[in-house]
């Protein structure tokens, strides 16, 4: 082989190696590289995600701020309706969604989650002076309002919800109006954490303590797939957060109605670190 041939071959090999290295690094730039992260949040859920005077507040908002602060970034919040939570991520309109978004096996196939940062059962909210509904069997024939984009209606259509007249209103505030003002709904059903939040701004409503439906919802911080290293950084930050006193402090600040009504609120709503490890940054739950 001549020297010219050897040089050409070496150059070709170097080019091939560079191309392979470039193709191999498929992960896009870090979501935290600019220091600002666009975060989709709810604006109509007092206690978890609400906007008052153009300012976001609630437990989702506090969690997003605390976790992003740990990785050297800060959130830029924007409103996301429940039914658009997945689409804003897959369409790259938001970097993260922190909006009482339940981790499910189906959603884990499309999105990465960091969580849970809180867990809650689905419950029932009624008018404060309405004592007709105290146990599950009292719901037979009653009109229960839910809204699209959540798993609430599906759960009520399961075995726990036999004989309940479930209907969907356009959004949460429509359900509250139906229950409180129009009185065309006998109850509103969604996650207890959200319901307790509503009672903080609607003192004439109450959560029925002994009625829950289905299994616990695990709320996660959602992101599009393809940002695993960012996801793992957030997981580390969440682990530290839930094992510190900050979690309990922030929870009671945002949702004071829960510790007031539920003496075992930390056991009921605080996630375990093992569950965080099982559900975070994975395509399927680790078992």
Partner 1 sequence: MTPPSTPRDGGDLHHSPTAHGDHSIAAGTIRNVFIRWAVHPSARWLPLLLACAALVIAGTTWPDGPARQYALWGILAALSLTTAAARVLIRRRRDARVIAALSLVSVLATVGGWLAFRNVVLHGEIDVTGRVASQGTQPLDAATHRTLTLGLDAPALKEPRNALRLTLAIADHDPAGPTCLPDSSATVSLTTSGVAAQQQTVRPGGTADFSLGAQVSTVRINVTLSTARGCRMDIHPTEATLYDR
Q: Which residues contact 222 (CB under 8 A, 6 or more apart)?
A: 85, 86, 89, 96, 97, 98, 101, 107, 111, 112, 113
Closer to partner 1 at the Cβ: 89 or 103? 103
d(CA 83, CA 22): 37
- Crossing angle between the packed helical segments 245-254 and 59-70, to the nearest 10 degrees: 150
Nearer to partner 1, 136 or 236 (CB): 136
Identify which of residues 66 and 102 has a Cβ nearer to partner 1 in the complex: 102
Q: Taking the complex as a whole, how short is the minimal distance between the CB of residue 258 and partner 1, in angstroms?
A: 18
Residue among 66 and 217 whose Cβ is closer to partner 1? 217
Q: Min. distance of Cβ 285 from partner 1 in angstroms?
A: 4
Q: How far apart are CA 8 and CA 232, in angstroms?
A: 43
Min. distance of Cβ 124 from partner 1 in angstroms? 14
Nearest CB to partner 1, comparing residues 177 and 278? 278
Cβ proximity to partner 1: between 2 and 106 the closer is 106
Q: Least distance (Å) from partner 1 to the CB of residue 152?
A: 10
Nearer to partner 1, 66 or 150 (CB): 150
DSSP class per residue in 209-250: TT--EEEEEEEEEEEETT-HHHHHHHHHHHHHHHTSHHHHHH
- CB of residue 38 to partner 1, shortest distance in Å: 26
What is the rounded distance in angstroms from the CA atom of residue 269 to the CA atom of residue 195?
Answer: 13
Contact predicate 261/210, CB 8 Å: no
Q: Which residues pair with 206 in a beta bridge?
A: 126
Torsion of CA 146, 149, 153, 159, to 10 degrees: -150
> 188: alpha, beta or left, given left = phi > 0 and alpha = psi -120 to 50?
beta
In the complex, least distance from residue 181 CB atom to partner 1, rounded to whole angstroms: 31
Query: From the CB of 105, what's the least distance to partner 1, in Å?
Result: 4
Short-list 187, 194, 180, 190, CA closest to 212: 190
Is the CB of 37 or the CB of 156 nearer to partner 1?
A: 156
Identify any residues that bridge with 56 across adjacent strands, giving them in sequence order: 51
Q: Report in angstroms how near the CB of residue 277 gets to partner 1 at its nearest.
A: 9
Q: How many CB atoms lie within 10 A of CB 117?
A: 27
N residues, the chain: 287
Interacting residue ranges for partner 1, rule: CB under 8 A: 102-106, 108, 121, 151, 154-155, 158-160, 212-218, 274-275, 278-279, 285-287
């Amino acid at each position: 082989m001549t020297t010219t041939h050897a040089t050409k071959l070496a150059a070709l090999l170097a080019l091939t190696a560079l191309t392979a290295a470039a193709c191999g690094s498929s992960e896009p730039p870090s979501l935290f590289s600019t220091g600002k992260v666009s975060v989709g949040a709810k604006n109509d859920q007092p206690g978890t995600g609400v906007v008052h005077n153009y300012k976001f507040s609630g437990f989702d908002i506090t969690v997003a701020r605390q976790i992003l602060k740990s990785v050297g970034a800060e959130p830029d919040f924007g409103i996301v309706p429940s039914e658009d939570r997945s689409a804003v991520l897959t369409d790259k309109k938001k970097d993260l969604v922190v909006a009482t978004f339940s981790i499910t096996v189906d959603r884990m196939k499309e999105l990465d989650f960091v969580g849970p940062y809180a867990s809650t059962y689905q419950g029932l909210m009624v008018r404060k002076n309405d004592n007709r509904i105290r146990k599950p069997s009292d719901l037979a024939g009653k009109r229960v309002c839910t809204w699209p984009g959540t798993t609430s209606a599906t759960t009520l259509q399961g075995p726990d919800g036999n004989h309940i007249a479930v209907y969907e209103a356009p959004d949460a505030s429509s359900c509250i109006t139906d229950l409180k003002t129009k009185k065309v709904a006998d109850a509103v059903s969604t996650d207890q954490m959200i319901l307790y939040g509503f009672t903080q701004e609607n003192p004439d409503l109450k959560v029925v303590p002994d009625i829950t439906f289905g299994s616990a919802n695990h709320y996660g911080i959602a992101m599009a797939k393809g940002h695993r290293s960012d996801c793992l950084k957030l997981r580390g930050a969440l682990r530290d957060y839930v094992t510190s006193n900050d979690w309990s402090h922030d929870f009671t600040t945002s949702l004071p109605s829960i510790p007031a009504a539920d003496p075992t609120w930390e056991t009921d709503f605080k996630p375990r670190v093992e569950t965080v490890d099982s559900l975070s940054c994975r395509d399927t739950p680790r078992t």
